[in-house]
Chains A and B, each alone.
Chain A
Amino acid sequence: MNDFKLNLNWIRQVILVLFACAVIFFHLIPFTLAPTMRPAPDIVFCVICALLIRRPEIVPFWVIALIYFGFDLFLMKPLGVWTACMLGATEIWRANMYFFRENRFPVEWFSVSVLFLLTLIANHIILAVSIVATPAFTTLLWEYIFTTLAYPIVLFIITYILRIGKPALGEFGLKGQRL
């Protein structure tokens, strides 16, 4: 029993939350105040999905809830809806984690894009049902396209620059569980 592992996950979680804060910060900078049709991609969603397959212990659900509630608060969104949709989406993703681990990149990319589309639709339906003004379809379409295009770039940075890979066969977690 000498393979004692230091618990560094909380540092990674803090770094993830700080990264989300930086994203919010960049959203808030008033580059231009004219309305645009091109929203920024949801980079944090890409990061969370990529990490969920590789190191799910870094992204427990409460970190996701915290990050997305921050987004809701600071970006003037309806409080809680997008967070709840994201929690649902990431739970679906987490449940199918082992399937994606064995699969190659194209399957993963396609699934991420479908998942994001479903999340957008769920969010839209909840808002429409509760009679809140819903965003324009063209803007949502652009957000979807940009997020899908951003995923490979985010994945490249995570695997080759930050060097966070899928766990090797036979690797065990802190409590000795299968990863």
Chain B
Amino acid sequence: MAGNKDHDLEFGRSIRRVMLGLTLFFLFLIFLFWRIDNPRAEQFRIALLDRVIPNIEWAMVPIARVSRIVNDFQSYGRIYEQNQELRRELQRMKAWREAAIQLEQEKAQLLDLNKVKLPPKLSFISGVVLTDSGSPFRQSALINLGKRDGVIDGWAAMDGLGLLGRISGVGENSARVIFLTDNNSRIPVTIKPSDQKAILSGDNTLLPILDFIDNTDLIQPGDRIVTSGDGGVFPPDILVGQAVFTSDNKFRTRLAADYNRLEFMRIIRHSSGTAIAASELLIGDLLSTDDPSTEPVTEPDG
């Protein structure tokens, strides 16, 4: 009897050992798949999150809101200083507004003189943040816009003022926004008065690094940084932030977007323009036919 029982246990143990080995092997295979065919693995992951997250969002929202209220409550402690600070800031802003209005008028006059045609204004869709990445090693967020809303990989995300990041991974009802602060984020930017090109690369801090600057002598801390639109990934001239020079002897960017209290974001609809591969295809047939009714049709988009 006892011997039988021991035999059973021994058998169970060896089965267990085999299963454990198989599990480890499968995990290894999954990692290999993730490493080799990363886009497909991430697509699988985003499809899964797309199923799950919108269903549990109702439970997340109240908790996040309560934590924000608590944070706001803590800030009541220094309400007087904040008030003073805001007044000073408002005063400065009024001066700037005055300057902006004057410039606006001047620009309108000059444009009128030149008869310049401006590109169409960028349109945007607004979305709500569903979740963050969940670990301090990745900086991203899931938003409630997806394929259903026409969102496409690579579009830019902004808050009201500055650039936040780009769409990377689109599900049916949700999409992931990789922030500028993420380790993997690389964005081509222009540093404004000197028009130097640089790459803004995230390093998991609130101050992403400005890499590959041609001539650092031409850059002052406080210079404006905007997207350059190189590569056609991003629309040009979206505000990113200001240059700062940090103690590790690097130029970094103080981001204009406020990551701390982010609830909504704007996704900029953007197409990099259609490249015309063969011009004779566009006009050739129309010109060869002598039909007077065919008039050249200009497509407004592009």
CB B289 to nearest CB in A, in angstroms, measures 56
* In the assembled complex, A28 has its CB within 8 A of some CB on chain B: yes
* Chain B 23-67 per-residue mask, 1 if CB under 8 angstroms from chain A, else 0: 110011011011100000100010011001100100110011001
From A3-11, A76-84, A99-107, A153-161, give the one contacting chain B. A76-84
CB-contact partner of A84 in B27, B56, B67, B206, under 8 A: B27
- Decide: A73 and B45 in contact? CB cutoff 8 A: yes
- With A33-B179, A87-B23, A176-B5: A27-B135 Cβ-Cβ less than 8 Å: yes
Given A25-B59, A65-B27, A175-B5, A32–B260 Cβ distance below 8 Å? Answer: yes
Interface string of A92-129 (1 = CB under 8 A from B): 00000000000000000000000000000000000000
Which of A12-20, A34-42, A43-51, A162-170 is near enough to bind chain B? A34-42
Selected contact of B34 from candidates A24, A33, A80, CB within 8 Å:
A80
Q: Of all chain B residues, which has the CB nearest A85?
A: B27
Decide: A135 and B137 in contact? CB cutoff 8 A. yes
Q: Is the interface of A mostly helix, strand, loop or mixed?
A: loop
A31 → chain B closest CB, angstroms: 5
CB within 8 Å of A: which B1-30 residues: 5, 8-9, 12, 16, 19-20, 23-24, 27-28, 30
Residues of the B chain whose Cβ atoms lie less than 8 Å from the Cβ of A136: 137, 204
Question: Once the chains are docked, how many angstroms separate the CA of A144 from the CA of B16?
Answer: 30
Q: Of A29, A36, A62, A132, which is within 8 A of B131 by CB?
A: A29
Chain A residue at minimum C-beta to C-beta distance from B169: A76
**Complex interface residues of chain B between 135 and 150 (CB less than 8 A to chain A):** 135-141
Residue of B nearest to A130 (CB): B35
Q: Which residues of B contact A78 (CB under 8 A)?
A: 31, 34-35
On chain B, the residues within 8 Å of A28 by CB distance are: 53, 60, 131-132, 134
Q: A28-B53, A29-B60 are in contact. Are A75 and B135 (CB under 8 A)?
A: yes
Is B183 among interface residues, defined by CB-CB distance under 8 A?
yes
Question: Size band of the A side of the interface?
Answer: 35 or more
A30 touching B132 by the CB < 8 A rule?
Answer: yes
Assess the A31–B136 pair: CB atoms within 8 A: no
Whole-angstrom CA separation of A61 from B26 in the bound complex: 14
A28 nearest in chain B by CB position: B131
Residue in A30, A79, A139, A176 whose CB lies within 8 Å of B137: A139
In Å, the complex CA distance between A27 and B19 comes to: 30
Q: Which residues of B contact A74 (CB under 8 A)?
A: 49, 52, 134
Is B131 a contact partner of A79 (Cβ separation < 8 A)?
no
The interface residues of chain B lying within 8 Å CB-to-CB of A88 are 24
In the complex, the chain B residue whose C-beta lies closest to that of A136 is B204
Q: Are B141 and A33 in contact (CB under 8 A)?
A: yes
Q: Which among B12, B56, B134, B259 has the highest number of chain A CB atoms within 10 Å?
A: B134
The answer to whether B136 and A33 touch across the interface, beta carbons within 8 angstroms, is no
Given contacts A61-B20, A84-B28, A139-B204, is CB(A76)–CB(B134) below 8 Å? Answer: yes
Using known A-B contacts A24-B134, A29-B64, determine if residue A76 contacts B140 with beta carbons closer than 8 Å. Answer: yes
* Shortest CB distance A22–B (Å): 10
A61 touching B23 by the CB < 8 A rule?
A: yes
Q: List 6 A-B contacts (CB under 8 A).
A: A28-B53, A28-B132, A29-B60, A31-B64, A33-B260, A136-B204
Extra 12 A-B pairs, beta carbons < 8 Å, given A30-B129, A35-B181, A62-B19: A29-B60, A30-B64, A31-B64, A35-B136, A35-B139, A75-B134, A84-B28, A84-B31, A87-B24, A133-B183, A133-B184, A135-B137
